[in-house]
Amino acid sequence: MLKESIGKRSDKVKNTIERGAVRKFAEAIGDPAPIFLDEKAGADSKYGRNIAPPTFPVTFDAGTVPDLNLPKKGLIHGEQIYHYNRPLYIGEDVYCWVEVKDYYEKTGSMGNMGFLTMTKYGEDADGQLLFSEERIIIINEAARKEMSV
């Protein structure tokens, strides 16, 4: 059932990187550095502006994949992988979407587990890819049974 979702993707959603959201995020990860938060430090930096921490894309709305209904419980976050072409700038618009990249099941010591790979992408207004964020989610058997009800 999840296998049928492979290759499906959401429609693009526009996200604006807001200064206040970056401040809250940087403080929540204990990294309130001037390069993220201080306007003058950003202007004086090699980027000429403030940038966002590398895990900030967790906050982006990337829409929803049609017909993909994940269980609310029984999900384990297995891996998270970022690729960047450049840092993200405060104030810029990022157009995000998410795609189901892969799904397979494997039996191991914890029973039959499902492995779902979802990748979020972000591009600028000109369609240049800025980053990708791959998330591998492990779904246990009990949670999958609930989905099929």
Partner 1 sequence: MTPIVDLQVGDSLDEIKLSPVTRLDLIKYAGASGDFNPIHTIDAEAEKAGLPGIIAHGMWTMGNLSKLFTPYLEEGFIADYSIRFKGMVFLEDVITLKATVAEKQAQQIKFSVEATNQQDKNVLKGDLVFSL
- List interacting residues with partner 1 (CB under 8 A): 21, 24-25, 27-31, 33, 35-36, 45-46, 51, 53-55, 58-59, 73, 76-87
Name which of 6 and 45 has its Cβ closer to partner 1.
Answer: 45
- Quickly count: other Cβ atoms within 10 Å of residue 72's Cβ: 8
CA dist list (Å): 70 to 38, 99, 111, 146: 39, 14, 19, 10
Name which of 22 and 65 has its Cβ closer to partner 1.
Answer: 22
Q: From the CB of 75, what's the least distance to partner 1, in Å?
A: 9
Name which of 12 and 135 has its Cβ closer to partner 1.
Answer: 135
Strand duo 129-139 + 111-123: pairing: antiparallel
Q: From the CB of 121, what's the least distance to partner 1, in Å?
A: 15
Q: From the CB of 125, what's the least distance to partner 1, in Å?
A: 21
Structural element, H or E, at residue 40 = helix 39-44
CA 33 to chain CA mean position, Å: 22
